[in-house]
């Protein structure tokens, strides 16, 4: 089984993408430290180009292509942040990007992909439909398929966020990242354990989409949960590649409820004055609820993104 990219591949990816991404800030918040009884360092990928960490992996994959392969463009399937990142990175390289999106994708996300120059093809809202539609586009165009997470180039690119965090904050005891298909958490774990072997790596996951938690418990990839979650960026399931990395290098998956996600998201908005999406809050909630034992520790948190529909915020109306 592929063990994923090593640290040299990740560092090479960083050199490749430096001109195309932001080096996002690391922020702190005393009031959130007090809530968690820990010292928290937030890597703010919500301030990344296209609004999420996905720009890292997309840039690494697209700028890794040979000139010959790049000329035919790229194809991907995604309902959200990866779709926008692929469209943006392809535009930066000057090549076409065909993006397969489920027909129930939000209008805001569709508009974002098209705004970056991506050619959107809608399909039924199933993984099978997404993959079959993408494969047809590849067959018809000769373009390169770039999977949202089952790709070492993507994993290496996502890992560069953790590299930057650990270079800036050198004495971390723990790092937490959200988990969906596992690209970010896999890359974070490889980078963190390579740079600081004693560090504890934790994945945050919604209880309503807890397939990674169940997969580590059972020792095999479990199907997606049937429940709905506001963390709509975390509904993918692990693949063999990311599952193998997570089994080897991740210490714990912490699950949180929908209410805990909402409260963590609100706490960051209110206390830090920055916008994060629910998927980012899934990495914050285990600390604020003390679900993860981090008392007195120095903890890095990857705030994965800040994209959400501002016309449909989840907080509800304030009391009169």
Residues 6+ positions from 73 with CB-CB distance below 8 Å: 90, 95, 96, 97, 98, 141, 143, 144
Kindly name the residue from 79, 215, 280, 304 that is annotated as catalytic.
Answer: 79
Active site residue 207: no
Count other Cβ atoms within 10 Å, centred on residue 68.
7
Active site residue 180: no
DSSP 105: S
Structure tokens at 268: 């960051």
- Partners of 255 in beta bridges: 205
Kindly name the residue from 43, 54, 109, 193 that is annotated as catalytic.
Answer: 54
Structure tokens at 140: 């018809």
Calculate helix-pair angle for 183-195, 240-249, nearest 10 degrees.
Answer: 40
- Partners of 114 in beta bridges: none
DSSP labels, 142-184: -PEE--SSSSHHHHHHHHHHHHHHHHHSTT-SEEEEE-SSSHH
Distance CA 20, CA 118 (A): 17
Three-class secondary structure of residue 202 per DSSP: strand
Distance CA 99, CA 113 (A): 8
- Partners of 254 in beta bridges: 204
Calculated CA dihedral for residues 100, 101, 107, 108, nearest 10 degrees: -80
Instruction: Find out whether 92 and 116 touch, Cβ atoms under 8 Å.
Output: no
Instruction: Find out whether 211 and 266 touch, Cβ atoms under 8 Å.
Output: no
Q: Helix, strand, coil: what percent of the chain each, to 5?
A: 50, 15, 35
Three-class secondary structure of residue 76 per DSSP: strand
Q: Which residues are catalytic?
A: 54, 79
């Amino acid at each position: 089984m592929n063990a994923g990219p090593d640290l040299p591949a990740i560092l090479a990816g960083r050199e490749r993408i430096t001109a195309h991404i932001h080096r996002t800030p690391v922020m702190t918040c005393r009031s959130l430290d007090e809530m968690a009884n820990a010292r928290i360092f937030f890597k703010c990928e919500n301030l990344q180009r296209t609004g999420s960490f996905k720009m890292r992996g997309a840039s690494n994959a697209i700028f890794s292509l040979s000139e010959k392969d790049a000329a035919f463009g790229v194809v991907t399937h995604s309902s959200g942040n990866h779709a926008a990142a692929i469209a943006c990175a392809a535009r930066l390289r000057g090549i076409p990007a065909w993006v397969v999106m489920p027909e129930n994708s939000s209008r805001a996300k569709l508009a974002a992909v098209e705004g970056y120059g991506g050619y959107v093809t809608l399909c039924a809202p199933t993984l099978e439909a997404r993959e079959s539609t993408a494969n047809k586009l590849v067959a018809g165009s000769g373009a390169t398929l770039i999977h949202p997470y089952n790709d070492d180039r993507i994993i290496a690119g996502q890992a560069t966020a953790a590299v930057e965090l650990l270079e800036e904050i050198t004495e971390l005891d723990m790092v937490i990242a959200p988990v969906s298909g596992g690209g970010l958490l896999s890359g974070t774990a490889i980078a963190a354990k390579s740079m600081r072997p004693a560090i504890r790596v934790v994945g945050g996951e919604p209880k309503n989409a807890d397939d990674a938690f169940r997969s580590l418990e059972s020792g095999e990839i479990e199907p997606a949960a049937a429940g709905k979650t506001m963390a709509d960026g975390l509904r993918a399931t692990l693949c063999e590649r990311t599952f193998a990395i997570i089994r080897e290098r991740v210490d714990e998956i912490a699950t949180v409820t929908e209410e805990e996600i909402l409260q963590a998201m609100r706490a960051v908005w209110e206390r830090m004055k920055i916008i994060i999406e629910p998927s980012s809050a899934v990495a914050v909630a285990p600390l604020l609820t003390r679900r993860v034992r981090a008392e007195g520790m120095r903890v890095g948190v990857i705030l994965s993104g800040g994209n959400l529909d501002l016309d449909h915020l989840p907080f509800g109306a304030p009391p009169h």
